[in-house]
Amino acid sequence: MLAPFLIMLREGIEAALITGIIATYLNQTDRREFLPAVWIGVFLAVAMSLFLGAGLQLVSADFPQKAQELFEAIVGLIAVVILVSMVFWMRKVARSIKTELHSSIDEALEHRSGAGWALIGMVFFAVAREGLESIFFLLAIFQQSQGPAAPLGALLGVLVAMAIGIGIYRFGVRINLRRFFQWTGVFILFVAAGILSGALKNRLCCKKIQLARQAPHFLLSSGLTL
């Protein structure tokens, strides 16, 4: 439960920070008329992430056993790559993300015609990246976890992230985000190692089971008996 909680808390806070930076900049530059475009972009990104996650889960449920095992291994590896890259990406852009977002907003709103659509697209892609990272992580965790603990932990992480985001944007709540991302980054690397180990272990076990099933046929075709 702790792993999905912290991962979704981090992902949610990243998405909330991006959204908050954009909304605050629009307020500061007297472009409040574009705020609805921000929320539309966020809504579309969240909806896309939910539909994609549900679609992958439904499609994989109909896979035969071998394809299901391969799918789980691929999802686990993708989740590991995403988690590790997420940590190093945040360390790289943490100091410049605010400036880069401001520049992207100015560029999107440079031409009044179609400015709203440009802003929707910018917000959509920024938030959707966090959503896609969350999807593959949750799929990998749910495949390796039994019971309701993991889903509940993920949901709790999202709710806490939303509360923190509202506190930062509406009430000026201050938290040491630098230290938060540092410690959660270390934890994420351990989680990624665990997911990788689990994915490789499951794949190895499946190979052993497959070889065990094929052994009697091989012995019979060779004229040997046990």
pLDDT tens for each residue of 79-119:
888 878 877 877 777 777 788 888 988 888 887 678 888 89
What pLDDT sits at residue 39?
92
Contact indicator for 165, 16 with CB cutoff of 8 Å: yes
Contact indicator for 197, 89 with CB cutoff of 8 Å: no
For residue 218, pLDDT beyond 80: no
Per-residue pLDDT band for 188 (boundaries 50, 70, 90) equals confident
Q: What is the pTM of this model?
A: 0.76
What pLDDT sits at residue 226?
47
Contact indicator for 31, 181 with CB cutoff of 8 Å: no
What pLDDT sits at residue 213?
52
Which two structure tokens, joined as six digits, stand for 87? 């940590």
Which two structure tokens, joined as six digits, stand for 75? 């999802």
Contact indicator for 5, 156 with CB cutoff of 8 Å: yes
Contact indicator for 155, 39 with CB cutoff of 8 Å: no
- Listed ranges 18-27, 91-100, 178-187, 212-221; the one with the highest mean pLDDT: 18-27
**Nearest by Cα to 109 from 34, 211, 197, 162:** 34
Cα separation, 172 vs 144, in Å, equals 39
Cα-based distances in Å from 203 to 39, 65, 81, 83, 137: 42, 12, 17, 20, 18
Tens of pLDDT, residues 23-78: 888 988 898 899 999 999 999 999 998 898 888 878 777 777 777 777 877 888 88
Cα separation, 115 vs 109, in Å, equals 5
Q: Quick one: DSSP state of residue 173?
A: -
